[in-house]
C-alpha cells in the first residue's frame, strides 16, 4: 500500500532527503527525496563529467540500501550498535521511501544530532566518552563511511538523560571505487580510523565556532520531536531553508 506522507510534516530535512515518522510504525522513519531538490537538480549541480552518470547513481536511498545490506553481511549484528537498521523500500506518495530504525531517546523524543548537542551543551565529559566509545568500535569493525559529519550522528539518551550511544544515520559507504570485498579487514579498519580522526577535527571546528558565537546553521535541527501530534509542530512554511548533506 502507498504510504501517505505528503500531508504530514517531516521531522527533519537533510541536504537531499526529507525524513518522516513512518505512519504505521512509530519506531521507524521513512526517507524520501526532497521534492524541491530532485535527482535531476543534483546531477545538474555536479557538472562535467559526473553529470554523465545515470540518475540512479545519485540516489542516496539506493546507495544507502546497498551499503546497509553489505554492512549486514560483512559486519553483522554488532553494526547495529553504531548504525540504524534498514528495513528496505516502501512506496509513498512522495516517491520510493527508504525505511529504517528511528532513533529515539528513552523519553520518546527523536534523538538530537551531535551537532545540536554540542551547540546546546558543549562537549561534556560524558559526550566525550560516548564519542570515544563510538570511535573505537567504528574503527575496530572497519565500518564503511564517507566523512563522519556532526549532523549525521545522533546522540541517544536514556531515562535519566544519560548518553547511551552515538548512532550514524547517513554518510555510510565509500567514496572509493574499490569494492569493499577487495580490502582486507586491516585496510578497512585503517580507513575507519582516519574517518574517526577527522570527526574529532570537525568537533574541534564546531567548538571553536561556538566559542566565537557563530551560529552553525539550522541544518541538523529537528523540525518536530516525533511525539504524537501536538499543536506546537511547525507548519511547512516555517521549515528552515538550508541545504547541505
**Cβ of residue 13: shortest distance to ligand ADP, in angstroms?**
6
Q: Which of 118, 152, 203, 220 binds Mg ion (CB under 5 A)?
A: 152
240 phi and psi, to 5 degrees? -65, 155
Closer to Mg ion by CB, 46 or 140: give it: 46
Q: Which stretch binds ligand ADP (CB under 6 A): 9-17, 87-95, 128-136, 182-190?
A: 9-17
Closer to ligand ADP by CB, 77 or 211: give it: 77
Which of ligand ADP, Mg ion, none binds 83 (CB below 5-8 Å, type-dependent)?
none
Sign (positive/negative) of CA torsion 107, 110, 115, 119? negative
Which of ligand ADP, Mg ion, none binds 19 (CB below 5-8 Å, type-dependent)?
ligand ADP
Q: Which of 141, 169, 203, 206 binds ligand ADP (CB under 6 A)?
A: 169
DSSP H or E run through 70: helix 60-74
One character per residue 73-92, x = contact with ligand ADP (rule: CB under 6 A): -----------x--------
Provide CB contacts within 8 A for 8, sequence distance 6+: 20, 21, 23
Instruction: State yes or no: residue 97 binds ligand ADP (CB under 6 A).
Output: no
Q: How far apart are the C-alpha atoms of 216 and 70, rounded to whole Å? A: 33
Q: How far apart are the C-alpha atoms of 56 and 43, rounded to whole Å? A: 10
Instruction: State yes or no: residue 217 binds ligand ADP (CB under 6 A).
Output: no
101 phi and psi, to 5 degrees? -60, 130
Q: How far apart are the C-alpha atoms of 87 and 72, rounded to whole Å? A: 12
Q: Where are the beta strands (DSSP E) in the chain?
A: 12-13, 17-21, 28-33, 86-92, 95-101, 112-113, 153-157, 163-168
11, 17 contact by CB (below 8 A): no
Closer to Mg ion by CB, 130 or 172: give it: 172
Closer to ligand ADP by CB, 84 or 139: give it: 84
Q: Which of 113, 139, 145, 192 binds ligand ADP (CB under 6 A)?
A: 113
Q: Which residues bind ligand ADP (CB under 6 A)?
A: 12, 14-17, 19, 29, 31, 60, 84, 100-103, 110-111, 113, 151-152, 154, 169-170, 220, 245
Amino acid at each position: 500500500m502507498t504510504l501517505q506522507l505528503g500531508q504530514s510534516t517531516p521531522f527533519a530535512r537533510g541536504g537531499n532527503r526529507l525524513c518522516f515518522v513512518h505512519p504505521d510504525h512509530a519506531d521507524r522513519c521513512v526517507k524520501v527525496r526532497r521534492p524541491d531538490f530532485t535527482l535531476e537538480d543534483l546531477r545538474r549541480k555536479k557538472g562535467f563529467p559526473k553529470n554523465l552518470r545515470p540518475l540512479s547513481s545519485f540516489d542516496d536511498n539506493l546507495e544507502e540500501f546497498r551499503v546497509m545490506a553489505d554492512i549486514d553481511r560483512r559486519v553483522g549484528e554488532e553494526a547495529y550498535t553504531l548504525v540504524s537498521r534498514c528495513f528496505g523500500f516502501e512506496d509513498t506518495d512522495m516517491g520510493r521511501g527508504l525505511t529504517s530504525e528511528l532513533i529515539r531517546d528513552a523519553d520518546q523524543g527523536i534523538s538530537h544530532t551531535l551537532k545540536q548537542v554540542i551547540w546546546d551543551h558543549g562537549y561534556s565529559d560524558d559526550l566525550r566518552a560516548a564519542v570515544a566509545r563510538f570511535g573505537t568500535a567504528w574503527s575496530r569493525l572497519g565500518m564503511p563511511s564517507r566523512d563522519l559529519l556532526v549532523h549525521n550522528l545522533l546522540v541517544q539518551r536514556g531515562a535519566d538523560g544519560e548518553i547511551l550511544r552515538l548512532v550514524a544515520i547517513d554518510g555510510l559507504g565509500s567514496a572509493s571505487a574499490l569494492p569493499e570485498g577487495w580490502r582486507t579487514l586491516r585496510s578497512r579498519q585503517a580507513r575507519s580510523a582516519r574517518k574517526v580522526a577527522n570527526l574529532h577535527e570537525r568537533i574541534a571546528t564546531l567548538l571553536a565556532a561556538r566559542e566565537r558565537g557563530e551560529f552553525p546553521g539550522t541544518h541538523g535541527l529537528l523540525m518536530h520531536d516525533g511525539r504524537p501530534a501536538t499543536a506546537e509542530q511547525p507548519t511547512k512554511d516555517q521549515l528552515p531553508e538550508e541545504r547541505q548533506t
